[in-house]
Amino acid sequence: MNENGQTMDLMSLLPEELEALCASLGQPRYRAKQIFTFLSRGVWVDEMSSLPKDLRAKLSQIAENRLPTVEEKQISSDGTVKYLFRLLDGECIESVFMRYEHGNTLCISSEVGCPMGCTFCASTLGGKVRDLLPSEMLGQIIAAEKDMGERISGVVMMGIGEPLDNYDNVIRFLQLVNHKDGLCIGYRHISLSTCGLVPGIEKLANEDLPITLSISLHAVTDEKRSAIMPVNRRYGIDALLSACAAYYRKTGRRISFEYTLLHGENDTDEDAAALARLLHRYMRGMPIHVNLIRVNEVKERTHRAGTRQSAHRFAELLGTMGVNATVRRRLGSDVDAACGQLRRARAKKEERPS
């Protein structure tokens, strides 16, 4: 604890901030790099063998270990691993480890719960509890690497929460995860997905971070989008797609659009044609990609998934209209794959202990 009775969150500090801390403890600055590298491997202070004992003792006194612990783990037959992580205050979040030919990717959460209220999503059913700290986002990757014994080379921010609703912590997390003395994951291997918080998109465009921005679009008219995504009542499709075009002009980074297919609601041939027209109108000449996802059915909700064939037909139709689209493989479909379901099941169990 420090003099204000607060504990420090070491894993949220950048190396230069750790340097300042070391200096304030009368230690040489190079200790900061050692500490940062240890932390990024999931080694806590008491095991930092190359640090002097008195420094370890001091750090143990002032800081708390916020590395998430594995509360539950579901392993899918395709090798996908879904984690339920426990945080220091007892809250739970989810991450999903996925194997691709180009390397391992972790899908991470950015908040405990979610305030956005999308009607097809399990993560938002109980609302938002709190923001995740930078260390708690980073810690999901470190804890998963440690548990799997494998390196993670890509990150998608598509787990529980809305990253742009936790803007400052997310930016700091990105700086931490990219740092050469830490996990050193390239910005180009990181995707950030948003339901469409326009001011956040505008701010992100100025950060000069070459990450991939994903936009959860899911509908082509304001009426339909507002019905399934309350955020659309604040920032409609025109504001959102104008911000996307400006983002591309500023960053030169290809934008990807997520489109969750909800059977009988947004998946007709006419919807595909309207989607292509909409994207051409706002994003003409810019590289874009559409990811089609068959909705993971959430039992509290009425949305239903269509067939795989109809998803592929939707993709082909987009293709014939000049829009690059793929149907997202459903990794881990035999585990509780819809984000938020594992956390919800756990919360219910803890409400009514058997």
| Positions marked active-site | 94, 339
Report the chain's terminal Cα–Cα distance, integer Å: 37
Nearer CB in complex with ligand SAH: 37/324: 324
Nearer CB in complex with ligand SAH: 258/271: 258
Asked whether position 129 contacts ligand SAH by CB under 6 A, the answer is no
Residues 6+ apart with CB under 8 A from 302: none
Interaction pattern, residues 287-316, with ligand SAH; x per rule: CB under 6 A: ------x-xx-x------------------
Query: 109 with 132: CB under 8 angstroms?
Result: yes
Half-sphere exposure of residue 151, counting CA atoms within 13 Å on the CB side?
Answer: 8
Q: How far apart are CA 12 and CA 57, in angstroms?
A: 20
Q: Residue 259, SS3?
A: strand
Q: What is the smallest separation between the CB atom of 87 and ligand SAH, expressed in angstroms?
A: 18
Nearer CB in complex with ligand SAH: 34/191: 191
Interaction pattern, residues 30-59, with ligand SAH; x per rule: CB under 6 A: ------------------------------
Q: Which residue type occupies 146?
A: K
Asked whether position 260 contacts ligand SAH by CB under 6 A, the answer is yes
Nearer CB in complex with ligand SAH: 10/229: 229
Asked whether position 261 contacts ligand SAH by CB under 6 A, the answer is no
Half-sphere exposure of residue 164, counting CA atoms within 13 Å on the CB side?
Answer: 21
Asked whether position 145 contacts ligand SAH by CB under 6 A, the answer is no
Query: 116 with 97: CB under 8 angstroms?
Result: no
Q: What is the smallest separation between the CB atom of 254 and ligand SAH, expressed in angstroms?
A: 17
Which of 21, 143, 152, 158 binds ligand SAH (CB under 6 A)? It is: 158
Output the six-digit token pair for 190: 């990181």
Q: What is the smallest separation between the CB atom of 23 and ligand SAH, expressed in angstroms?
A: 39
Asked whether position 243 contacts ligand SAH by CB under 6 A, the answer is no
Nearer CB in complex with ligand SAH: 251/341: 341
* H/E element, 147: helix 134-148
Residue where the block lists tokens 């070391």: 22
Q: How far apart are CA 147 and CA 132, in angstroms?
A: 21
Half-sphere exposure of residue 335, counting CA atoms within 13 Å on the CB side?
Answer: 25
Q: Which residue type occupies 207?
A: E
Q: What is the smallest separation between the CB atom of 13 and ligand SAH, expressed in angstroms?
A: 26
Q: What is the DSSP letter of 77?
A: T
Which of 178, 194, 251, 256 binds ligand SAH (CB under 6 A)? It is: 194
- Which positions lie near ligand SAH, rule CB under 6 A? 116, 118, 120-121, 158, 162, 193-195, 216, 258, 260, 293, 295-296, 298, 338-339
